Amino acid sequence: MSHLFANYKRLPVSFLSGSGCWLKGNDGKDYLDFLSGIAVTSLGHSHPKMVEALTAQVEKLLHVSNLYEIPEQERAAELLVETCGNGHLDRVFFCNSGAEANECLLKLARKYAHSKGLPPQVLVTTNGFHGRTLATVSATGTPKYHEGFAPLVSGFSFVDYNDTEAALKALDECCAVLVEPIQGEGGVIPAEGEFLSALEQACKAQDKLFLLDEVQTGVGRTGHWLAAQHYGVQPHAVSLAKGLGSGMPVGAVLAKAELAELLGPGTHGTTFGGNPLACRAVTTVVETIGAEKLLDNAREMGEYLRKRLLALAGITEVRGVGLMLAAVTERPAGEIVEAAFQKGLLANAVRPQVIRFAPPLVVKEQEIEQAIDILGSVLTPARIS
């Protein structure tokens, strides 16, 4: 009998080790990881730079309190501002997860509203996902995540994703908008450029906050440091996590200086966030993505994977950006994912007929071909080459 909570439906395998895009199972099989721990292991498994950096940091110092200066945190923040700041996000807050990063965004929005005399209401979207804490699940526009947790946190107005007219109308009664540039758990649905651009312009015209949840899209996943750069928009703040530490639990908020100043001493904090080990991971991830040109690889391999998926019978659509892709299937996605798992490919069904693919940013063409071979064999006996 397991002593763990039963809140996860786990597949019958555990992994003993990993290298690059591959995992070694306790069943003796090798698994091609096209899920990356749900878009987390951006550098793949056991990347030599991560092994070297984290081993050195463990031998030196794991944790000190944020009551003191942390040089590793300063260096990680500097790199994030240089790469993801886009010339206007110049302050960083480190935490432990994407949910915590989004909590910080929501607290910033409330602080901002009270400082400006605005209604403390945040505009969010149906089908969105922002986390599992009570506030972030309340901001999540998927009813199944709300079941059994009422009363939810108030202060959220919902509109349909990509409904520009409805969003602009609802914004009149809000202080901020929080939106994913690409809905991940919602089925890998990209925002329409007009939707994000209109929200950005309206927020800035009305002196309201344009906030992006880049927990899944950030740090190279879309072939850009931020998906905001893909769309050409400039948010007031963004949340990051998942691929930020390539497996180390770490989240961050990047914000404009005047917004960050709203959270002065005592207003917000974290015990573990930004400790030396986590920040050494962040620095290593950002430096390695740059040194190994993994943004280029994410764009190139993403387009290659899209093309090869579209060539498979039984797939009707492929959507997403870079290496954050989803295939819409004719058959139930869960059946296909289970059959692919049996043949050594890891992916997941995010909706009844949608399979999500988020391989490590280091993925190679040969590994994509191996994944396509497995998918082709389980989708249908006949496959278009």
Please state which of the ranges 20-24, 142-146, 238-242 shows the lowest mean pLDDT: 142-146
Q: Which helix (H) or strand (E) holds 270?
A: none
Phi-psi region of 162 (alpha: psi -120 to 50; beta: other; left: phi over 0): left
Q: Characterize 368-382 residue by residue with b for buried, 16 or more Cβ atoms within 10 angstroms of its Cβ, and e for exposed.
A: bebbbebbbebbeee
2-30 pLDDT, tens per residue?
999 999 999 999 999 999 999 999 999 99
Per-residue pLDDT band for 385 (boundaries 50, 70, 90) equals very low
pLDDT in tens, 203-215: 999 999 999 999 9
- The position carrying tokens 């492929």 is 318
User: Does the pLDDT value for residue 158 go beyond 50?
Assistant: yes
pLDDT reading at 354 higher than 50: yes
Angle (CA) 338-127-358 rounded to 5° is: 45
pLDDT exceeds 70 at position 268: yes
Angle between helices 294-310 and 365-379 (to 10 degrees): 30
pLDDT at residue 347 is higher than 60: yes
Pairing state between β 209-213 and 22-25:
unpaired
Q: How many Å apart are CA 368 and CA 351, to the nearest integer?
A: 22
Q: Which residue in this structure is represented by tokens 């993801």? A: 84
pLDDT digits (tens, 9 = 90+) for 43-69: 999 999 999 999 999 999 999 999 999
320-47-181 Cα angle (round to 5) = 20
* Average of per-residue pLDDT across 292-319: 97
User: What's the token pair of residue 227?
Assistant: 């998906």
What are the tens digits of pLDDT across the range 309-336? Answer: 999 999 999 999 999 999 999 999 999 9
- Judge whether 315 and 309 are in contact, CB under 8 Å: yes
pLDDT at 328: 97
Rounded CA-CA distance 186/241 in Å is 18
Q: Which residue carries 């692919």 as its tokens? A: 340
Structure pTM? 0.96
Three-state SS for 355?
strand
pLDDT at 380: 77
Report the interhelical angle of 333-342 vs 365-379 (nearest 10°): 120
Query: Is the predicted pLDDT of residue 151 greater than 70, yes or no?
Result: yes
Question: 3-class DSSP state for residue 240?
Answer: strand
Residues that are catalytic = 129, 213, 242
Reported as a pLDDT band with limits 50, 70 and 90, residue 381 is low
Cα end-to-end span (Å), the chain: 47
Domains annotated on the chain, with CATH: 15-47+293-379 (3.90.1150.10), 49-291 (3.40.640.10)
- Plot region of 343 (φ>0 → left; ψ -120 to 50 → alpha; else → beta): alpha
Phi and psi at residue 207, in whole multiples of 5°?
A: 60, 45
